[in-house]
């Protein structure tokens, strides 16, 4: 049987992070017993309100912090292994780029850090700038002159400069207008089409619903739900029958004898809820008093407030 730690893009077993106080006593459990497998070539959504453990999970996967218990593997290697860094692209919620460089200079700078040959960069840089929607004027401007949306675009281009196998995106649509958001989602889908794996953290649930194959919902450091988006959103205790062109009399007959009538083009399906409704239900089920006792920054449109948990 294949070992998931070797085959999966990301695999965790009992991953736990406990932050301690000055005297070494447990203070906050940021992540508790996370068992997660993200397959290669899929777009996976990591959801949760502030303080749910999303950022802690990403930091553990990148080797920026160490687990208190459990293990994580990334692209078949233990998280933090230096030999997989060149295969990972990361777009943090706040991109810390050099403001005195232009967009084009930024990509060339990071390309050199990855030791990408100049002739390769000469071809790759303009392609990436076109891909993220920065025109010839914008790519020559200094980053200090960039709007938040433009900074988001160059941050994504920087995350892709090394042609990574795995891309971690933390709030990728923050600061983008509706057109930019649509372009970002299309780009994520194109990365999937290229066989790349994308881990997406977002508060914009509609965006996640549009592009993710599977999701997990974290709350207070624990996984509360996981599965395929389509399956999770189906309302399985309700049956929906769809057809068209029926008269009022036929509709009445269908209610009683649809099977016997053999109405053409009839379709029986399960209706779906929305990712927003699923998310809020999960939080409510795990919170006394429901959402009123949680400082949730869930957004269904516009900008997300605050930083990822």
Report pLDDT digits (tens) over 231-244.
887 777 776 777 77
Are 201 and 256 found together in one domain?
A: no
Structure tokens belonging to residue 26: 């447990």
Could you count the other beta carbons within 10 Å of the beta carbon of residue 258? Answer: 15
Question: Is residue 43 domain-resident?
Answer: yes
255 and 210 belong to one structural domain: no
Could you tell me how many residues make up the chain? 309
Model confidence pLDDT, tens digit, residues 184-197: 888 999 999 999 99
Q: Are residues 129 and 227 in the same domain?
A: yes
In a domain, 298, yes or no: no
| 80 vs 66: CA distance, rounded Å | 9
Q: Which domain holds residue 259?
A: 240-269
Q: Is there a domain that residue 131 lies in?
A: yes
Q: What digits encode the pLDDT tens for the residues 94-148?
A: 878 899 999 999 999 999 999 999 999 999 999 999 988 888 898 999 999 998 8
pTM of the model: 0.78
Instruction: Tally the domains of the chain.
Output: 2
Alpha-carbon distance values, 293 to 10, 48, 286, 290 (Å): 33, 15, 11, 6
Residue 309 lies in a domain: no
Whether 217 contacts 47, CB under 8 Å: yes
Residues 205, 249 within the same domain: no
Same domain, 227 and 81: yes
- Examine the domain organization and report whether 138 and 259 are in the same domain: no
Angle between helices 118-131 and 148-160 (to 10 degrees): 140
Cβ atoms 296, 302 nearer than 8 A: no
Specify whether 167 is located in the same domain as 253. Answer: no
Same-domain pairing of 13 and 142: yes
My answer on whether 51 and 115 are in the same domain is: yes
For residue 206, what are its two tokens?
């509609």
The CATH number of the domain where 289 resides is what? 3.40.50.300
């Amino acid at each position: 049987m294949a070992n998931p730690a070797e085959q999966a893009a990301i695999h965790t077993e009992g991953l736990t992070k406990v932050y301690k106080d000055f005297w070494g006593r447990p203070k906050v459990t940021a992540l508790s017993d996370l068992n997660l497998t993200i397959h290669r070539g899929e777009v996976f959504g990591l959801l949760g309100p502030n303080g749910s453990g999303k950022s802690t999970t990403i930091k553990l996967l990148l080797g920026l912090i160490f687990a208190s218990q459990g293990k994580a593997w990334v692209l078949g290697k233990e998280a933090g292994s230096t030999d997989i860094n060149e295969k990972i692209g990361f777009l943090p919620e706040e991109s810390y780029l050099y403001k005195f460089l232009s967009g084009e200079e930024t990509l060339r700078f990071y390309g050199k850090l990855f030791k990408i040959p100049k002739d390769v960069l000469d071809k790759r840089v303009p392609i990436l700038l076109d891909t993220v929607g920065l025109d010839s004027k914008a790519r020559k401007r200094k980053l200090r002159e960039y709007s938040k949306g433009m900074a988001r675009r160059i941050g994504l281009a920087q995350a892709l400069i090394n042609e990574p196998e795995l891309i971690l995106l933390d709030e990728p649509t923050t600061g983008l207008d509706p057109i930019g958001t649509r372009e970002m989602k299309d780009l994520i889908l194109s990365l999937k089409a290229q066989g790349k794996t994308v881990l997406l953290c977002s508060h914009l649930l509609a965006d996640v619903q549009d592009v993710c194959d599977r999701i997990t919902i974290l709350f207070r450091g624990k996984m509360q739900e996981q599965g395929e988006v389509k399956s999770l959103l189906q309302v399985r205790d309700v049956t929906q029958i769809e057809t068209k062109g029926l008269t009022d009399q036929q509709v009445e007959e269908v209610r009683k004898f649809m099977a016997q009538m053999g109405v053409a083009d009839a379709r029986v399906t399960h209706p779906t809820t929305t990712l927003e409704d699923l998310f809020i239900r999960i939080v409510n089920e795990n919170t006394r008093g429901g959402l009123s006792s949680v400082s949730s920054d869930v957004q269904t449109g516009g900008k997300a407030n605050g930083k990822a948990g």
